[in-house]
Amino acid sequence: MAANVFKVLLADWMIGGILTLYFLVGYVGDWSNLRLMENATYDLRSFLRAHGQQSEQIEMVAVDQESLNKVGRWPWPRATQARLIENLRAGGAKVIVFDFSMSEPDRSSQGLEEMRALRQRYTAQIASPQTDARQREFYIRELQSLNESEARLDQDAKFATMLNRSAEVILPLSFELGRPEGAESAEPSAAIAASSFSLIDNPRDMASYPPLKVRKMTAPLPAFQLPQVGFGHTTVVPDSDNIVRRDVVLVEYLDRFYPSLALRALSTYLDVAPDDVHVALGKGVKIGDLWVPTDRYMRTRTSFSGPAGTFKPFSAHHVLGGKIPSNTFRGKLVLVGPMAATAGAVPYETPTGPATTGLEVTANVIQNMLTQSSLTVPRWAPAVELSVILLIGVFVVLALPRLGTKWSGIVAGTILASYLGFVVIMYASKGYVLTVVHPSLMLILAYTFLAAKRALLAERGASSDSGASETNRMLGLTFQGQGMLELAFDKFKACPIDDSMKELLYNLGQDFERKRMPSKALSAYQHIGTKDKHYKDIEQRMKRLSAAESAGAGGKSAGSGSLLAEGSDVKPTLGRYEIVKELGRGAMGIVYLGKDPKIHRSVAIKTMRLDEVEADEIQDVKSRFFREAESAGKLSHPNIVTIYDAGEEQDLAYFAMEVLDGVDLKDLCKKRNLLPVKRTLEIVAKVAEALDYAHSQSVVHRDIKPANIMVMPDGAVKVTDFGIARVTTSAKTQTGIVLGTPSYMSPEQLSGAKVDGRSDLFSLGIVLFEMLTGERPFQGESVATLMYVIANQPHPSPFDLRPDLPKPVGAVIDRALQKDATKRYQRGLEMAQDIRALMQGLTV
Amino acid sequence: MDIVFGAKTDVGLKREHNEDSLCADPKLGLFIVCDGMGGRNAGEIASGLAVEIIQKHMVDAHKAGGLPLIGTMNPKLSPETNRLASAVRLANQVVNGASQSKPGQSGMGTTVVCALLNGPMLSVAHAGDSRIYLVRGENIHALTSDHSLVAEQVRQGILTEEQAEKSAQKNIVTRALGVEESLQVDLDEIELVKGDIILLCSDGLTKGVKPAEIAKVLREEKEPQAACDRLIKMANAAGGEDNTTVIVIAVKQVGAGVWHQLMKHVTR
């Protein structure tokens, strides 16, 4: 039972089916293990688009280690920061993204605090009545210079002033992921809110395509939250394996949608106000004429130009020092950000390499958007991927098992290569991202499993006898293919009747019908019927056939040249005999039961068809045929089969002999069938007497064996088959003749020497031994061994096999089985006498 | 393995029918010679049927791995040799069945000698007195020993070789395909090298031509087909008493090494 379940599980289609199911569910469920592998292929592919070029419209200014060394530790004084931006503005930059956290006041603010405290005191003093006029004047003057100092020192204010004058600056907002709750997530100021994108084309799709929700906003100082300033979020979300592949272009904070720094910069760069940017939730963003495609969660996939360092930034201190040529930044989108860790640079890992700063990531993102080269998952991707998986599933279940190992490998490999090629081309040229892992693994695993199974089974199938029924089925089919239907049926009957067997038996039945062997057809259908009476139309067929059979003349097979035709009333004759029925088929032809009408004697008629014999061989064959008749014909002995008549009619040669209604000794030589000792001795004695007579007539039998000795129910013994299967020594023999197992041959027969009656007696001795013990005295696996044993090895003692045999038997056997013919019984009569003598002394 | 082969069969000078059959299938690497025996033209039927069944079984086994084997598997021999034995046993059952189905075919049988080439290995299966020889370098080796009465007698020292040749019982075969329900097939495996020449032949050749002469022809003729033609001529010149069939296979290149092992596994 378990074996059967196992067998089903291992069926070819089952393997394919399980794999398909696994990958289907894995695809739909987006399993993490598959996703990880997919990411690996994704990252590999990114090298296809790592062209290493930097867009001409983007410039980077980095606060790198060099700048820190030159200018000082970060944070730089606000004034320096302002000067940096100013220089860029003076250089004509169109957009300046200043990606530094501006939420802390300037360092110098501590001094400012002191001054403010001082100012308050001075102001209080000025206002106080206790101050005299001269002190008041002092305080007023001091207050004024204090104000001036303050103004000078208040770098934040300076910065704010600078911001006020400009229209190009973009500052970052940082958030935490999650839903806003409580007081931490404060309402943004109007200036910040102004940067949100509010033009939603499909507000009803908000539920289906929810953007990422964020909370706990950290914004630049309130002084910097000016309407002229653009704001963008800096939330970077790496994938589960910590690699940054995407940019979240839009997040939702307190019911407003805030663009990423990159997107905000882009809209300023393209002169499109936030209010005018079209947002199609779940699909993308349209800035003027530029379309930025996103996925359902408003994310883009970044196509990186190369590993870290691909984009070449300017060192911030060069810009501060005014050393950059004046037109470098004219009309460009400038990104200013940290590149040193101490300045706040965060190293991200991207598909193209590790340690890429946020600055460069943003630069890549903007470049993608500008040049429309971001990676997208096309709308048709899920449909295509799913159908590819299903198609490959069908292929794997149905086609793969039927192709040989070689072809299935070639076809699977071709399919795999084409799909991969398609995916790669789509990626490289159009930036379409398609999943690769599911179809590829399906093909690879299916091929591997099937090939492994085939290899294992081929080994195992060859090592076991793999079921006799399998062999019989194969034999049956081969026989059927050769038109040997009855033999095929025999083999099929040895197989269990499962569904495929029923099919084979049904076909065989039809073949029988075609060959006009209706009784056989009936048997075939009946055989199916023992298991399944209602299989196809066998019920009708069986009815029809059995009706025909009872109407016919006994359902004999008509296709084999029998004299007896179906349904005929007239009895045929052969010579002067009437043919009554068929008795069997002998080596040379059909044997019939006949009747001599004149004296009403039943005879057995052995026939041979001469029309199948070749012209030049007819003489030879006929002479051999009649020689048997002649040999036995001139012998007239109660223990030798009597030949009455021989003749020839048209294309048939025949001879008539006595009907023998008995069995031959073959079965009586088996251990369980052994006759009583006395009976055996009786039989052998009679044969010996018969042989004695034959030898006196110069006839040597040459083929004495149990099959050629018959016993009748009344106890009579007859020796048959003088001559048919005999080995001839004619020099005229043309085609080779095959020897049967020479278990009963005498040594002189085997050595090809002259043979006389004593040889027959040797053979009879073997028969005697076998009939007494159930085993042959000389045994060997091959002709060679047997020949050697007969010629050289002494026969075993019969008492070893059957200790209760009468002692004198041993002597008889010993003499009969002498290797040297001169030492044997010289006449059959001698042997018979010895046997009868010892029978006298027996009771059983 | 890279081979060139030739094959020819001839009715001889004294017989009316050619009861030999042969198969030369380079794609399978299968070569068979069968010498049929039996009344009238039953010999032709037996040998033709044997060749057909053996070839068909090998084709079927090649297409579908895991086909059952007829007879027990011998683990000491390769799967290919076992498969070849299975094919011969199957053919035996079919010919035996056929011999019982028509009176004129009763007792028919055939000798069989077959060679299966697989990579550098040669599998040999035979029953009867058709032979397969290997010519390597200066020597000619008989790869099979005849299953004939006189051969047994020689082996047992009852006769000398010369006496065997003159024996009136020369034609008696002790083992043949199709005569009994089961057949004991003799199997062997040999590894071939470049330059080897293999010859399959029915006894029509060896009755008239000595092995030394055969070896000479095989070495002299560069083209196997020409060698076949010449051998047949020689057999007929020596009397042409029997049908003669020869197949000559010349091994040009034996593919060994990793690549072939790999290909063998992939293409099996």
Number of Cβ within a 10 Å radius of residue A256 = 15
pLDDT of res. A551: 63
Angle between helices A32-46 and A437-463 (to 10 degrees): 120
* Residue type for position B181: E
Q: ∠ CA A719-A724-A730 to the nearest 5 degrees?
A: 125
Arithmetic mean of pLDDT, A630-646: 81
Query: Can you list the positions of beta strands (E) in A103-219?
Result: 169-177, 199-200, 212-218
CA–CA separation, A564 and A442 (whole Å): 67
- Least confident segment among A363-367, A747-751, B223-227, B255-259: B255-259
Classify strands B20-25 and B30-37 as parallel, antiparallel or unpaired.
Answer: antiparallel
Candidates B83, B94, B160, B177, partner chain A, best to mutate (most A CBs within 10 A)? B94
pLDDT of res. A559: 40
Q: Report the number of distinct structural domains present in chain B.
A: 1
The H or E element containing residue A740 is none
pLDDT of res. A557: 41
pLDDT of res. A834: 92
Q: Two tokens at B77?
A: 């021999």
Nearest CA to B185 out of B126, B124, B106 is that of: B126
The pLDDT tens digits of the residues spanning A209-242 come to 888 888 888 888 888 888 888 888 888 888 878 8
The pLDDT tens digits of the residues spanning A730-771 come to 323 344 555 556 788 888 877 777 778 899 999 999 999 999
Residue A2, pLDDT above cutoff 50: yes
pLDDT of res. A254: 84
Candidates A405, A487, A737, A738, partner chain B, best to mutate (most B CBs within 10 A)? A738
pLDDT bracket for residue A18 (50, 70, 90): confident
- Least confident segment among A382-386, A763-767, A795-799, B66-70: B66-70
Classify strands A663-664 and B121-127 as parallel, antiparallel or unpaired.
Answer: unpaired
Classify strands A590-596 and A717-719 as parallel, antiparallel or unpaired.
Answer: unpaired
pLDDT of res. A567: 46
pLDDT of res. A462: 45
Question: pLDDT over 70 for what percent of chain B?
Answer: 93
Any idea what the CATH number is for the domain that residue B98 is in? 3.60.40.10
pLDDT bracket for residue A727 (50, 70, 90): very low
CA–CA separation, B16 and B126 (whole Å): 26
Q: Two tokens at A130?
A: 């206790």
Option in B35, B98, B109 nearest A484 (CB): B98
Does A621 contact B156 at a Cβ distance shorter than 8 Å? no
SS (H, E, C) A489-501: HHHHHCCCCCHHH
The pLDDT tens digits of the residues spanning A152-161 come to 777 787 788 8
Residue count (chain B): 268
- Read off the DSSP letter of residue A624: H
Find out whether B96 and B180 touch, Cβ atoms under 8 Å: yes
Closest residue in A to B15 (Cα) is A734
CA–CA separation, A396 and A401 (whole Å): 7
Closest residue in A to B98 (Cα) is A484
Rounded to the nearest integer, the mean pLDDT of chain A is 81
Find out whether B208 and B234 touch, Cβ atoms under 8 Å: yes
Residue B229, pLDDT above cutoff 80: yes
Closest Cα in chain B, distance from residue A549 (Å): 23
- Read off the DSSP letter of residue A432: B
The H or E element containing residue A475 is helix A468-481
pLDDT bracket for residue B39 (50, 70, 90): low
Find out whether B224 and B167 touch, Cβ atoms under 8 Å: no
The pLDDT tens digits of the residues spanning A263-301 come to 899 888 888 888 888 888 888 888 888 888 888 888 888
Residue B9, pLDDT above cutoff 90: yes
Residue A570, pLDDT above cutoff 70: no
Does B98 contact A482 at a Cβ distance shorter than 8 Å? yes
Find out whether A95 and A265 touch, Cβ atoms under 8 Å: yes
pLDDT bracket for residue A449 (50, 70, 90): confident
Option in B39, B103, B155 nearest A784 (CB): B155
pLDDT of res. A293: 85
pLDDT of res. A154: 76
Candidates B47, B60, B62, B93, partner chain A, best to mutate (most A CBs within 10 A)? B93
B239 — alpha (psi -120 to 50), left (phi > 0) or beta? Answer: left
Arithmetic mean of pLDDT, A612-624: 66
Find out whether B174 and B156 touch, Cβ atoms under 8 Å: no
The residue behind tokens 């001469």 is A610
Find out whether B20 and B51 touch, Cβ atoms under 8 Å: no
Number of Cβ within a 10 Å radius of residue A104 = 12
Nearest CA to A643 out of A652, A94, A651, A634 is that of: A634
CA–CA separation, A306 and B125 (whole Å): 67
Find out whether B98 and B111 touch, Cβ atoms under 8 Å: no
The residue behind tokens 């010498």 is B35
Q: Is B134 helix (H, G, I), strand (E, B) or coil?
A: strand
pLDDT of res. A315: 87
Mean pLDDT comparison of A139-153, A559-573, B226-240, highest-scoring range: B226-240
Does A736 contact B171 at a Cβ distance shorter than 8 Å? yes
Mean pLDDT comparison of A398-412, A563-577, A704-718, B165-179, highest-scoring range: A704-718
Alpha-carbon dihedral angle through residues B95, B99, B102, B103, given to the nearest 10 degrees? 160
The pLDDT tens digits of the residues spanning A782-792 come to 777 788 888 88
> Phi, psi (5° rounding) for residue A298?
60, 45
Query: Can you list the positions of beta strands (E) in A720-794?
Result: 737-738
Give the 3-state secondary structure percentages of chain B, helix then strand then coil, rounded to 5. 40, 30, 35
Residue A672, pLDDT above cutoff 90: no
Establish if B264 touches chain A: CB-CB under 8 angstroms.
no
Which class for A210: exposed (0-12), middle (13-18), buried (19 or more C-beta within 10 A)? Answer: middle
Closest Cα in chain A, distance from residue B72 (Å): 6
CA–CA separation, A316 and A83 (whole Å): 11
Contacts of A608 in chain B (CB under 8 A): 103
pLDDT bracket for residue A729 (50, 70, 90): very low
Contacts of B155 in chain A (CB under 8 A): 784
> Phi, psi (5° rounding) for residue A164?
-60, -35
CA–CA separation, B110 and B108 (whole Å): 7
Give the 3-state secondary structure percentages of chain A, helix then strand then coil, rounded to 5. 50, 15, 35
- Least confident segment among A182-186, A279-283, A441-445, B219-223: A182-186
Residue A554, pLDDT above cutoff 50: no
Option in A461, A734, A739 nearest B172 (CB): A739
pLDDT of res. A71: 84
CA–CA separation, B27 and B24 (whole Å): 9
Find out whether A461 and B66 touch, Cβ atoms under 8 Å: yes
Number of Cβ within a 10 Å radius of residue A161 = 14
Arithmetic mean of pLDDT, B161-178: 81
The pLDDT tens digits of the residues spanning B89-117 come to 999 999 988 888 776 777 788 999 999 99
pLDDT of res. A114: 81
If you write DSSP's letter for every residue of B195-211 in order, what string do you get?
A: T-EEEEE-HHHHHHS-H
- Read off the DSSP letter of residue A844: -
pLDDT of res. B233: 93
Contacts of A462 in chain B (CB under 8 A): 66, 69, 73, 79, 82-83
Establish if A787 touches chain B: CB-CB under 8 angstroms.
yes
Instruction: State the sign of the Cα–Cα–Cα–Cα dihedral A613, A617, A618, A622.
Output: negative
* Residue type for position A370: L
Residue A678, pLDDT above cutoff 80: yes
Nearest CA to A35 out of A215, A241, A179, A181 is that of: A241
pLDDT of res. B256: 57
Arithmetic mean of pLDDT, B195-214: 90
pLDDT of res. B132: 94
pLDDT bracket for residue A724 (50, 70, 90): very low
Nearest CA to A639 out of A699, A684, A587, A594 is that of: A684
Option in A406, A462, A560 nearest B266 (CB): A406
Arithmetic mean of pLDDT, A542-562: 60
> Phi, psi (5° rounding) for residue A110?
-65, -45
Does B156 contact A784 at a Cβ distance shorter than 8 Å? yes
Q: Which residues 71-90 of chain B have a CB within 8 Å of chain A?
A: 72-73, 75, 79, 82-83, 90
Give first-to-last CA distance, chain A, whole Å: 55
If you write DSSP's letter for every residue of A218-283 in order, what string do you get?
A: E-S-GGG--TTSEEEE------TTSB--EEE-EEEETTEEEEBHHHHHHHHHTT--GGG-EEETTT
Cα B40 to Cα A619, A723, A775, A818, B17, distances in angstroms: 12, 19, 38, 40, 9
Size of interface A-B (CB pairs under 8 A): 163
pLDDT of res. A611: 62
Find out whether A366 and A304 touch, Cβ atoms under 8 Å: no
- Least confident segment among A137-151, A257-271, B22-36: A137-151
pLDDT bracket for residue A519 (50, 70, 90): confident
Arithmetic mean of pLDDT, A304-308: 79
pLDDT bracket for residue A641 (50, 70, 90): confident
Q: What is the pTM of this model?
A: 0.47
Q: Is A107 helix (H, G, I), strand (E, B) or coil?
A: coil
Q: Which residues 207-226 of chain B have a CB within 8 Å of chain A?
A: none
Does A735 contact B104 at a Cβ distance shorter than 8 Å? no
If you write DSSP's letter for every residue of A679-694 in order, what string do you get?
A: HHHHHHHHHHHHHHHH
The pLDDT tens digits of the residues spanning A152-207 come to 777 787 788 888 888 888 888 888 888 877 777 778 888 888 888 888 888 888 88
Residue A429, pLDDT above cutoff 60: yes
Question: pLDDT over 70 for what percent of chain A?
Answer: 88
* Residue type for position A726: R
pLDDT of res. A616: 63
Question: Can you give the residue range of the structural domain that contains B167?
Answer: 2-265
The pLDDT tens digits of the residues spanning A499-508 come to 888 888 888 8
Residue A649, pLDDT above cutoff 60: yes
Find out whether B102 and B65 touch, Cβ atoms under 8 Å: no
Option in A462, A585, A736 nearest B82 (CB): A462
Rounded to the nearest integer, the mean pLDDT of chain B is 86
CA–CA separation, A259 and A286 (whole Å): 12
Residue B258, pLDDT above cutoff 60: no
